[in-house]
Amino acid sequence: MSANKSKAPNFPGGILSLSANGSTAGTGIIWASTSNANANRDAVPGTLHAFDATNLAKELWNSAMNSTRDAVGNYAKFCPPTIANGKVYLATFSGYLAVYGLLP
């Protein structure tokens, strides 16, 4: 995430995962779960980001773009995004599992 200089990092830094369509070039996505403030001592909101794996300066999506629909809730430290069957699963400290996928 060092290529994205739009905001200072919080603690802990982004927890990363990678997804891709098999070995198809250009389909890689880096998923980053980040805290919106210092999560060292308090429960704070978080954001899930998706970056183009070939150009980390290109953010494809994040859960704050439409927070009414996509808000993560409170950030769960050290929990990587899990990708399976076209969905991204993210544990939260708000007591639920956030699940993201393509809209119908």
Q: Record the pTM.
A: 0.86
DSSP letters for 6-49: SS---SS--EEEEE-STT-TT--EEEEEEESS-TTTS--BEEEE
State residue 32's pLDDT score. 96
**pLDDT band at 14, cuts 50/70/90?**
confident
Place of tokens 């098999």: 22
What's the rounded mean pLDDT across residues 74-101? 95
* Digit-coded pLDDT (tens) for 22-78: 999 999 999 999 999 888 888 999 999 999 999 999 999 999 999 999 999 999 988
Q: Domain residue spans in the chain?
A: 15-98
Q: How much is the pLDDT for 3?
A: 55
Q: Is 67 helix (H, G, I), strand (E, B) or coil?
A: helix
Contact 72, 45 (CB under 8 A): yes
- Look at residue 4 and tell me whether its pLDDT is greater than 70: no
Higher confidence at residue 3 or residue 79?
Answer: 79
Cα–Cα distance measured from residue 56 to residue 69, given in angstroms and rounded to the nearest whole number: 25
